[in-house]
Amino acid sequence: MLFAGEFEGHVDSHGRIAVPAVFAEALSGVVVVARGFERCVSVYSEQGWQRIASEIRDLPATNAKTRRLARFIFASAHEQEADRQGRIELPKTVLRYAGINRDVVVIGTGEAVEIWDRESWAQELDAVQARVSDAGDSTDSPIDERHAA
């Protein structure tokens, strides 16, 4: 499934979030919740997680950057399953990492879903929009340096 769209929601007092209906079927069954590369929470379908994990495992373990990446992703990864109300529990460690207390934005990023603190997402979106709007002015990719001044 191609995950696409942007939805507002909230995390309840037990750290659970309702999965947007458009993502519910693809995220039924086992999902993996982990730190996102930016200060967000990434949610992967079982197949999406297997692809990401395989890509990381295929990198050379003798490389220090590879080991740091593996630690960053794998240490935070938790298998979860949606409850009968379609909610996924988000571990406290990833909620703290992402600065999420209550109000969130859930976005599709193609192969995964990201959950952002609402204010953090607004700042990220502003930065990305500025880079994308400048993309026509140079040959640089708009995603090379997302927060370059």
What is the tens place of the pLDDT at every residue in 12-53?
999 999 999 999 988 988 999 999 999 999 999 999 999 999
**123 assigned to some structural domain:** yes
**1 assigned to some structural domain:** no
- Which domain does 44 fall in, by range? 6-137
pLDDT tens-place string over residues 52-84: 999 999 999 999 999 999 999 999 999 999 998
Q: In what helix (H) or strand (E) does residue 115 lie, and over which residues does it extend?
A: strand 113-117
**145 assigned to some structural domain:** no
Give the whole-angstrom CA distance, residue 4 versus residue 25: 14
**62 assigned to some structural domain:** yes
Question: 96 to each of 24, 29, 106, how far by Cα in Å?
Answer: 24, 25, 17
Average pLDDT over residues 5-12: 96
pLDDT at 149 over 60: no
* DSSP structure string for 32-97: EEEE-SSSSEEEEEHHHHHHHHHHHHTS-TTSHHHHHHHHHHHHH-EEEE--TTSEEE--HHHHHH
pLDDT at 144 over 70: no
pLDDT at 141 over 70: no
Contact between 86 and 37 (Cβ < 8 Å)? no
* Residue-averaged pLDDT of the chain: 90
Q: Find the CATH number of the domain harbouring 81.
A: 3.40.1550.20
**117 assigned to some structural domain:** yes
**109 assigned to some structural domain:** yes
Residue given tokens 């990220």 in the structure block:
124
Quote the number of domains for the chain. 1
**144 assigned to some structural domain:** no
Answer with the residue of higher pLDDT: 38 or 133: 38
**128 assigned to some structural domain:** yes
DSSP three-state, residue 149: coil
